[in-house]
Amino acid sequence: NAGVTQTPKFRVLKTGQSMTLLCAQDMNHEYMYWYRQDPGMGLRLIHYSVGEGTTAKGEVPDGYNVSRLKKQNFLLGLESAAPSQTSVYFCASSTLRSREGLLTDTQYFGPGTRLTVL
């Protein structure tokens, strides 16, 4: 049971390049999230998904796109990278009910991807 995994761990891009970050979870969670973490700003939600085939915008969606074609995967895309997108990106997942049947909304986080845009 790997939990939430992210690939790649590190990436350096030039301005204007594109890339896709992959998030995978093996907990059969319905909800998945992409955050970015910047110094002094905490975590900010980029996009999220409440189920396979559905996505929604978070606080800071501009410049990013997402897709959730399979329940276990949530992809974050940067079509034309900008230096302002230099950040650490975290994926998370959660479920509505725990294995015991209790309502829960605890999010489980991946280890992060450090992206630098030059």
Partner 1 sequence: AQSVAQPEDQVNVAEGNPLTVKCTYSVSGNPYLFWYVQYPNRGLQFLLKYITGDNLVKGSYGFEAEFNKSQTSFHLKKPSALVSDSALYFCAVRDYKLIFGTGTRLQVFP
- Least Cβ distance, residue 32 to partner 1 (angstroms): 12
Q: Is 101 in the site for partner 1 (CB under 8 A)?
A: no
Q: Is 105 in the site for partner 1 (CB under 8 A)?
A: yes
Do the Cβ atoms of 19 and 2 come closer than 8 Å?
A: no
Closest CB to partner 1 among residues 38, 79:
38
Q: Is 74 in the site for partner 1 (CB under 8 A)?
A: no
Closest CB to partner 1 among residues 17, 108:
108
96-99 own/partner pairs: CB under 8 Å, 24+ apart? 96/30, 96/31
- Bridging pattern class, strands 87-94 and 108-109: antiparallel
Q: Is 107 in the site for partner 1 (CB under 8 A)?
A: yes
36: which strand partners? 44, 89
Q: Which stretch binds partner 1 (CB under 8 A): 12-20, 64-72, 74-82, 103-111?
A: 103-111
Give the span between the Cα atoms of 36 and 115, in whole angstroms.
10
CA 90 to chain centre: 5
The contact set with partner 1 (CB under 8 A) reads 4, 33, 40-45, 48, 58, 90, 92, 103, 105-112
